[in-house]
Amino acid sequence: MNSPLVLISLPAELIARVADDSALSKHDLMRLRLTCRLLNFWATYSLAQQHLSKIGISLTRYDLQALSAISKHPQFGPHIRSIQLDHTRVHPDQVAILADAMVQAKQSGNDGYPKAKERFQGTSRRFVDELELEDSEEALQSLIVAFSALKTYDNPITLTSADTHLMGCDFGHTRITEFFGPYVYDEPKHTHLNSTMRMLLRAASSSGLHIECFQFSYWEPRESRALTQATPYIDVKICSKLEIPKIEFESPLSKVETLPLQKFLAAVTHVKTFELNLLAEPGLDIVSIRETQFCQEILQSIAFGSLTSVELWNVGISQKALSMFLKKHSHTLQSLKIVGSSIFQGSWLIMLAWIGDQLPHLVDFHAESLYEMQDEDVEGDIETRELFPDKRNWKLTAHGNNECIRDEITKLLRDASNSGS
């Protein structure tokens, strides 16, 4: 009688394919690692490759210790490519709300008391942890340990300051959110973009981490009342020492003080790619004149000498400010994308023609969903209208050399002229 076929008797390449099956979840792979030494090897490799490329952590001892352990692991560490540090913190009001809920549940004698108590205790512990970790710089030292381990693999790393509950992280804060639940928008919370950016930049500088991209993202609905300003704290000395080839910034500028951000953009060097997304709804009927001024101030502060790629999403800006920014980088700029954006005191048709004529090194250009602003009202708001309203979902995409791009722009402008747009 033939013995039954077991997994470990298969050739190594077949075992690797089984462990690499996309149907296996993170927890499946973690259990598979515990079966035997052979399966541990292949399951560990697949777990690292599929689930540990992006690590999202909150400011807790458990998360920071987990990051250090994963970074030092000889099979896990080399697969890390992105670290997202949550910049949200427990708000004191939230602790008080949960305390009241616990007291009410106990007084009413219902079955919800144990859960209410557990949630209050978990949130209280995190609140205290966050204060201690920041004030003592224990969090900073933990990040330096993790980044120093990652430096040994010499892989470029993306660092992000964001709300990790919105970023779709693969690993990191699962245990914490399962314990007392993720934040929701109607719960009071702090946004500490200042200290979070400061920790990431200081840890990267101290460890010599190879940074591929620095992202900071702050999102609040327009109607939201942010509890704290999302103001990036900037240490100019540290920034000037870091080589950051790519910067991505996502935030409604109405929520941000721009001066620290301007200092950051003026201090960093070697930036080749800059992406700015103001998270406004494309085609919003009303755009604040203050937002167009914010955008202009940000772009004017950029002094990168090697900028090759720019993406502008959902911005409002004057034609003069945009042309000045692009002209400043015309000798290096090769790729330009403008999406969902509004132009003020000017015309996109004129601006597009200018792009074709004045950016000689441009080899990749994309534009869509563009809007033009009308006159400013007494309250400082501007009405917008869509460019080419009769051509829904139009896009301009051109590749190759400057001549190809100029030809595509000319064709678009000719069609617009013929249609009377």
Give the tens place of pLDDT for each residue, 73-103: 998 899 899 998 888 888 888 888 889 989 9
372 and 279, same domain (yes or no): yes
Burial 232-250 (b: 16+ CB within 10 A, else e): bbbbeebbeebebbbbbbb
Higher pLDDT, 122 or 203: 203
Higher pLDDT, 314 or 415: 314
133 and 25, same domain (yes or no): no
Q: What residue has token string 């790393």?
A: 157
Q: What is the mean pLDDT of the chain?
A: 78
**Are the beta carbons of 74 and 151 closer than 8 angstroms?**
no
Structure confidence at residue 402 (pLDDT): 86
273 and 381, same domain (yes or no): yes
Angstrom CA distances, 84 to 80, 173, 217, 334, stand at 11, 11, 10, 29
HEC sequence for the chain: CCCCCCHHHCCHHHHHHHHCCCCCCHHHHHHHCCCCHHHHHHHHHHHHHHHCCEEEECCCHHHHHHHHHHHHCCCCHHHCCEEEEECEEECHHHHHHHHHHHHHHHHHCCCCHHHHHHHHHHHHHHHHHHHHHHHCCHHHHHHHHHHHHHHCCCCCEEEEEECHHHHCCCECCHHHHHHHCCCCCCCCEEECHHHHHHHHHHHHHHHCCCEEEEEEECCCCCCCCCCCCCCCCCCHHHHHHCECCEEEEECCHHHCCHHHHHHHHHHCECCCEEEEECCCCCCCCEEEHHHHHHHHHHHHHCCCCCCCEEEEECCEEEHHHHHHHHHHCCCCCCEEEEECCEEECCCHHHHHHHHHHHCCCCCEEEEECCEEEEEECCCCEEEEEECCCCCCCCEEEEECCHHHHHHHHHHHHHHHHHHCC
375 falls in which pLDDT band (50, 70, 90)? low
Angstrom CA distances, 123 to 115, 140, 273, stand at 12, 22, 39
Structure confidence at residue 330 (pLDDT): 95
65 and 1, same domain (yes or no): no
Higher pLDDT, 389 or 151: 151
The pLDDT of 395-413, averaged and rounded, is: 89
Whole-number Å distance between alpha carbons of 43 and 24 = 10
Angstrom CA distances, 91 to 98, 127, 232, 368, stand at 11, 8, 19, 40
Residue 138: pLDDT above 70? yes
Angstrom CA distances, 370 to 82, 195, 282, 327, 391, stand at 32, 36, 8, 20, 12
Structure confidence at residue 184 (pLDDT): 38
Structure confidence at residue 181 (pLDDT): 40
Residue 12: pLDDT above 70? no
Q: Give the model confidence (pLDDT) of 22-76 as tens digits.
A: 667 677 777 777 677 667 766 777 777 777 888 888 888 888 988 999 999 998 8
Angstrom CA distances, 390 to 226, 262, 269, 371, 387, stand at 38, 39, 43, 13, 9
Structure confidence at residue 133 (pLDDT): 92
Higher pLDDT, 229 or 62: 62
Q: What residue has token string 């399962």?
A: 178
Residue numbers of the domain that contains 183: 52-419
Neighbours of 276 (CB within 10 A): 22
Tokens (6 digits) for 151:
């430096």
Mean pLDDT check: name the lowest of 143-157, 241-255, 266-280.
241-255
47 and 127, same domain (yes or no): no
The pLDDT of 315-322, averaged and rounded, is: 90
321 and 331, same domain (yes or no): yes
- Could you tell me which residues come within 8 angstroms of residue 359 by beta carbon, excluding any fewer than 6 positions away? 326, 330, 333, 336, 402
240 and 116, same domain (yes or no): yes
Q: Give the model confidence (pLDDT) of 234-246 as tens digits.
A: 566 677 777 788 8
**Are the beta carbons of 308 and 272 closer than 8 angstroms?**
yes
Structure confidence at residue 34 (pLDDT): 65
Structure confidence at residue 348 (pLDDT): 93
Number of structural domains (the chain) is: 2
Whole-number Å distance between alpha carbons of 283 and 154 = 43
Q: Give the model confidence (pLDDT) of 163-182 as tens digits.
A: 765 544 444 333 333 333 44
Residue 268: pLDDT above 90? no
Share of the chain above pLDDT 70, in %: 73
Whole-number Å distance between alpha carbons of 374 and 316 = 12
Residue 158: pLDDT above 80? yes
Assessment of whether the complete model's pTM goes beyond 0.95: no
User: Looking at residue 37, which CATH number applies to its domain?
Assistant: 1.20.1280
Domain boundary among 51, 68, 88: 51
Mean pLDDT check: name the lowest of 90-99, 219-228, 367-376.
219-228
The pLDDT of 297-313, averaged and rounded, is: 89
Residue 204: pLDDT above 60? yes
- Could you tell me which residues come within 8 angstroms of residue 26 by beta carbon, excluding any fewer than 6 positions away? 47, 50, 51, 170, 171
352 falls in which pLDDT band (50, 70, 90)? very high
39 and 185, same domain (yes or no): no
Structure confidence at residue 253 (pLDDT): 58
Structure confidence at residue 68 (pLDDT): 93
230 falls in which pLDDT band (50, 70, 90)? very low
Q: Give the model confidence (pLDDT) of 112-129 as tens digits.
A: 888 889 888 888 888 898
- Could you tell me which residues come within 8 angstroms of residue 196 by beta carbon, excluding any fewer than 6 positions away? 59, 85, 86, 87, 161
190 and 159, same domain (yes or no): yes
Residue 393: pLDDT above 60? yes
Domain boundary among 11, 28, 51: 51
Structure confidence at residue 236 (pLDDT): 65
Instruction: List 247's β-bridge partners, or say none.
Output: 214, 274
313 and 278, same domain (yes or no): yes
74 and 207, same domain (yes or no): yes
Domain boundary among 51, 74, 92: 51
312 and 408, same domain (yes or no): yes
Structure confidence at residue 75 (pLDDT): 86
